[in-house]
Amino acid sequence: VNIESGTVTWSSPSNIALVKYWGKRKHQIPENPSISFTLSNCKTITKLGFTKRELSTGLEMIDDFSFEVFLDGKQNDAFKPKIQTFFERVEAYLPFLKAFHFKIETENTFPHSSGIASSASGMSALALCLMDVEKALMEADGAFSMTEKSFSEVFFNQKASFLARLGSGSACRSLEGPLVVWGEHEAVEGSSDLFGVKYPYKVHDNFKNYQDTILLVDKGEKQVSSTVGHNLMHGHPFAQERFKQAANNISEIKTILETGDLDTFVKLVESEALTLHAMMMTSMPYFILMKPNTLEIINKIWAYRNETGSKVCFTLDAGANVHVLYPENETETVLKFIKNELVAYCQNGHYICDVAGLGAENI
């Protein structure tokens, strides 16, 4: 390779699934298709420095990875095993990995101990940085007369999403926006189990700049890691029905996104969130990942909707925090409702205002 060293930087957001991914096969292949809103404000910014490693004799083999990790400017070894595993999984697709020492400097715009998973934003940002390194190496080598073709934006994004998936499944949905589908489905052209694709159809204006206010009910560590959670779907008594339901919901949400039918959207999204939690309650071992305040918030949202006719709804990840979703034209009223009635249930009154966005950026 012709490059001795360099630096690349990407920012990549988190995402929130509307139809949930829960259950996977080997090599991070999802059991069912999923669709998410890409977020804007909750993101990871990763700077990746790379330096060619020196071989003393030039003959020995390098058979390990060399990298260091800094979180918010401080060396952080806690992430090293995750990144080691990620490097092992992607090495077959990025053959230069062992030839360089990497300095990974990363920061999140949201607090670490917020219960917001940083794996989607973090893994997608790192995957994009690595793709940028690959691109720089190939261009410098000049060995690729196909360079321009190989590094079309589509190829770059697809491969980056493919790599991100190997870091954390849902990370493959963070690169573009505002809506991304992951998992092969006949109703979504170009969809794949291997990477996320930007939702390819026209979306009704009702969904423009859709708002997501994240209520931080429990900022602690996740009670169940998503790896453990996905594995609980193996041999789960309701798994096959759930996978079918998710596929049907992808077809249904396609119609909803086209027509702008917010009432049906609310039903589908809330049902998906509760089904995700129902799967965890009915697995062996079983878990309840909601907290009493999660339920208080859900009941308040339902009461508010009944009283006002608002189209606000909730969704949940595999934890106790609540994502409050609502159309842009309700921003003022729903925020007032959140401040008056829901913030009391948040840990230290903390919440984060976010909005559907366009995905990762090279900076």
Q: Which is nearer to ligand PMV, 119 or 192 (CB)?
A: 119
Q: Which is nearer to ligand PMV, 104 or 276 (CB)?
A: 276
SS3 labels along the chain: CCCCEEEEEEEEEEEEEEECCCCEEHHHEECCCEEEEEEEEEEEEEEEEEEECCCCCCCCCCCCCEEEEEECCEECCCCHHHHHHHHHHHHHHCCCHHHEEEEEEEEECCCHHHCCCCHHHHHHHHHHHHHHHHHHHHHHHCCCCCHHHHCCHHHHHHHHHHHHHHHCHHHHHCCECCEEEECCCCCCCCCCCCCEEECCCCCCHHHCCCEEEEECCCCCCCCCCHHHHHHCCCCCCCHHHHHHHHHHHHHHHHHHHHHCCHHHHHHHHHHHHHHHHHHHHCCCCCCCCCCHHHHHHHHHHHHHHHHHCCCCEEEECCCCCEEEEECHHHHHHHHHHHHHHHHHHCHHHCEEEEECCCECEEC
Specify which residues 66 forms β-bridges with.
Answer: 101
Hey, which residues between 76 and 135 contact ligand PMV (CB under 6 A)? Answer: 119
> Is 249 one of the binding residues for ligand PMV (CB under 6 A)?
no
Q: How far is the CB of 323 from ligand PMV (least distance, A)?
A: 11
Specify which residues 354 forms β-bridges with.
Answer: 212
Binding mask 271-310 for ligand PMV (x = CB under 6 A): -----x----------------------------------
Q: How far is the CB of 187 from ligand PMV (least distance, A)?
A: 18
> Is 169 one of the binding residues for ligand PMV (CB under 6 A)?
yes
> Is 174 one of the binding residues for ligand PMV (CB under 6 A)?
no
Q: Which is nearer to ligand PMV, 161 or 226 (CB)?
A: 226
Q: How far is the CB of 269 from ligand PMV (least distance, A)?
A: 12
Q: Which is nearer to ligand PMV, 8 or 356 (CB)?
A: 356
Q: Which stretch binds ligand PMV (CB under 6 A): 83-91, 167-175, 243-251, 266-274?
A: 167-175
Size of the site for ligand PMV (CB under 6 A): 14
Determine which residue in the list 10, 11, 13, 21 makes contact with ligand PMV, applying CB under 6 A: 21
Q: How far is the CB of 184 from ligand PMV (least distance, A)?
A: 15
What tokens were used for 352? 């984060």
Specify which residues 314 forms β-bridges with.
Answer: 324
> Is 232 one of the binding residues for ligand PMV (CB under 6 A)?
no
Give the CB-side neighbour count of residue 333, counting CA atoms within 13 A.
14
Q: Which stretch binds ligand PMV (CB under 6 A): 16-24, 50-58, 73-81, 100-108?
A: 16-24
Binding mask 318-337 for ligand PMV (x = CB under 6 A): x-------------------
Q: How far is the CB of 251 from ligand PMV (least distance, A)?
A: 17
Hey, which residues between 51 and 80 contact ligand PMV (CB under 6 A)? Answer: none
> Is 226 one of the binding residues for ligand PMV (CB under 6 A)?
yes
Determine which residue in the list 8, 11, 12, 17 makes contact with ligand PMV, applying CB under 6 A: 17
> Is 170 one of the binding residues for ligand PMV (CB under 6 A)?
yes
Quick one: how far is CA 187 from the chain centroid? Answer: 22
Determine which residue in the list 317, 320, 324, 327 makes contact with ligand PMV, applying CB under 6 A: 317
Whether the CA torsion 218, 222, 224, 230 is positive or negative: it is: positive
Q: Which stretch binds ligand PMV (CB under 6 A): 17-25, 41-49, 127-135, 264-272?
A: 17-25
Position 261: which residue type?
D
Q: Which is nearer to ligand PMV, 134 or 272 (CB)?
A: 272
Position 67: which residue type?
F
The residues binding ligand PMV (CB under 6 A) are 17, 20-22, 34, 119, 168-170, 226, 230, 276, 317-318
